[in-house]
Amino acid sequence: MLAALIIFLLEVCHKTMAILEILEFPDPRLRTIAKPVTQVDDRVRKLIDDMFETMYDAPGVGLAASQINVHERIVVIDVSEDKSQPLVFINPEVTVLDSDMHEYDEGCLSVPGFYETVERPEHISVTALDRDGKSFTIKPDGLLAVCIQHELDHLNGKLFVDYISPFKRGRIKKKLEKKHKEEAR
């Protein structure tokens, strides 16, 4: 009886969450500027759950709604090794706290297989709504600060490849276009 109940619950959970398609560079939809979320409701919470499932499956540490062709200001992040620290940022706003910059090697689920060094502010403050619509502010550093800035760029139609030279960006674009053509066959 208990085993049947567990199987039923797993099936229900699996049906209620979905792995969504992640747009890949140079898809022009990645350049769309996301609109603010006006109401945090069950639709938004379902989207957040699907985004986490998609991000963990990819696997990645962050995902912006823009990457799944939903142009709302929603980001999910989990930089923990064991997927135990899921964070939700709805309508996030970043404030740079000082001029200290740091270089990080960044990759992206929308630019699969490529990593480049990007310079970003090291000390930031982020104010956002959580999955229940409650406001919070954090002052992250390290990987979390980088990830937040990277994902917020997506909400503004920007990708990490925009920080690198036009030559490197063009090379990445050509390689991904070739990959997409081969996959379409």
108 labelled as ligand-binding?
yes
User: What does the CA dihedral 131, 34, 53, 40 come to, rounded to 10 degrees?
Assistant: 20
How far is it between the farthest Cα atoms of the chain? 62
| Residue 23 Cα distances to 65, 108, 146, 180, angstroms | 10, 11, 21, 11
Residue 151 annotated among the catalytic residues of the structure: yes
14 labelled as ligand-binding?
no
13 labelled as ligand-binding?
no
Q: Write down the catalytic residue from 24, 106, 122, 151.
A: 151
| Residue 155 Cα distances to 12, 29, 90, 150, angstroms | 31, 11, 11, 9
CB 9 within 8 A of CB 156: no
Q: Which parts are annotated binding residues? A: 108, 150, 154
> Which residues are catalytically annotated?
151
Q: What are the binding residues for Fe cation?
A: 108, 150, 154
